[in-house]
Amino acid sequence: MNIYYCLCGEFLLILDVKIDRLPRRQTDGAFILNTKKRTYKLNTVFSKKVVVKRTPEEGNTDKKVGFEAQNRHCCPKCGLFVCYDQKGVFSYILDGSLIKK
């Protein structure tokens, strides 16, 4: 098991593989966590729901402007934005938001 912490030192994630082994999202470089296939424990708090505008330059493969809803999750101790989901089987962990001690 691999244990990851927030930059403030708070425990945030236990994962069955190293995080750098997860696939990455083209739009923002976030790590894609398939919650149906991976064994994990995520220790975050819901922050807010936002709508993000995606453009073709950000890897949007539709070649047009699109929008996506994100349910953002933060560190329970310091409030750092660390991951988001979109009400599906995937969670997206922001690159650089977690450290391994």
**Domain of residue 16, residue span:** 2-100
Q: Are 93 and 38 in contact (CB under 8 A)?
A: no
Q: State residue 62's pLDDT score.
A: 59
> Binning pLDDT at 50, 70 and 90, where does residue 96 land?
very high
Number of independent structural domains in the chain? 1
Residue 49 burial class via C-beta count within 10 angstroms: exposed 0-12, middle 13-18, buried 19 and up: exposed
Bridge partner residues of 34 (DSSP): 90
CA atoms within 13 A on the CB side of 84: 19
For 40-93, the pLDDT digits (tens) are 999 999 999 999 987 776 665 656 778 889 999 999 999 999 999 988 889 999
Structure pTM? 0.87
The arithmetic mean of pLDDT across residues 34-38, rounded, is 94
Helix (H, G, I), strand (E, B) or coil at 43: coil
Beta-carbon contacts of residue 63 (< 8 Å; ≥ 6 apart)? 56
